[in-house]
Amino acid sequence: PDGCFECCIKCLGGVPYASLVATILCFIGVALFCGCGHVALTGTLTMLENHFSRVSSDHATLTMVIQIFQYIIYGIGSFFFVYAIILLAEGFYTTSAIKKELQSDFKTTVCGRCITAFFMFLTYILFLAFLAIFGFTAIPVFLFFNMWNTCAAMKSPDANITSPDSICVDVRQYGVIPYNATPGKACGATLGEICNTSEFYLSYHLYIVALAGAGATIIALIHYLMILGANWAYLKSAASTHDYQDIKTKDDQDLEAEARSKEGQNSSSYS
C-alpha cells in the first residue's frame, strides 16, 4: 500500500495543473462559442427570412456569409481541440523535464526551448485573433439588446406610448440586408410579435453565451501564455544551471587531478 501511495503521489506531482486548468477552460469556452454561435446564426437567418426579408434573393449574400461563418466555427472547434491537447502535452513534457533537470538526470535541449517559444508565439497570435472574434460577437449581442429594449419599452406601462406603430426597428440600417429588402423593418405590434418568437429569444441568449465562451477562451489563452512564458524561463534557467554545474564539476576534477599530480611528484622526490 505504501508503494502504491508513493506512486500515486509521484504521478500527481508530475501533472501540470496550470495547463490542465487552462485546457479545461479552453474546451468549455470554445464549446460554448462554437455550439451557441452556430445555433444562434441559424436562428438569426430564420428570423430575418420570416419577418424582415421575405424574398430570398434579397438576403442571398447574408445566407452565404452565415454559412461561411458556420464552416469557420467548425474549423475553430476542431483546431482548438487539437491545439489544447498539444499544449497540455507540452505542459507534461516541460514539468517532467524540469524535475529531471533538477535531479541531474536529464538535460534540456535548444530544440525543446525553441518549441516552447514557438507555441508561445502561436498562442499570442491566437489570442489576438480571439480578441477580434470577441469584438465581432459583441455586435449581434448589441443589436439584439437594442431590439429587446425597444420591445420592453413598448410593453412598459410607464412608457405612455400613444402611437406604438411609430416605434420601429429597421435592420436595413445596420447593413444586414440591402435597402431594397421588403419589408426591411418591423413596427408596433409586429415588432412585439417578433420579440416573442422563439427564434429571437433563443438567438439573443445564445449570442450572449457565445460571447461569454469567447471571453473564457481569451482567458484560457492568456493563461497558456503565462504558462508557456514561465516554462520557457524555467527551461532556460535549468539549462544555464546545468551548464554551470558541468563547468564547475570539470574544474573540480582538473584541480583534483592537478593536486594528485603534485602529490605524486612530491612523493617521488622524497623517495
Q: Is residue 222 part of a domain?
A: yes
Q: Is residue 89 part of a domain?
A: yes
pLDDT tens digit sequence for 53-77: 878 877 888 889 899 999 999 999 9
What average pLDDT does the structure give for the chain?
81
pLDDT tens digit sequence for 115-132: 888 999 999 999 999 999
pLDDT tens digit sequence for 167-178: 888 888 887 888
In total, how many domains does the chain have? 1
Q: Is residue 133 part of a domain?
A: yes
Q: Helix/strand/coil (H, E, C) string of the chain?
A: CHHHHHHHHHHHHCCCHHHHHHHHHHHHHHHHHHHHHHHHHHHHHHHHHHHCECCHHHHHHHHHHHHHHHHHHHHHHHHHHHHHHHHHHHHHHHHHHHHHHHCCCCCCCHHHHHHHHHHHHHHHHHHHHHHHHHHHHHHHHHHHHHHHHHHHHHHCCCCCCCCHHHCEEEHHHHCCCCCCCCECEEEHHHHHHHHCCHHHHHHHHHHHHHHHHHHHHHHHHHHHHHHHHHHHHHHHHHHHHHHHHHHHHHHHHHHHHHHHHHHHHHHHHHC
Q: Is residue 167 part of a domain?
A: no
Q: Is residue 184 part of a domain?
A: no
Residue 41 belongs to what domain range? 15-137+198-236
**Predicted model pTM:** 0.79
Q: Is residue 146 part of a domain?
A: no
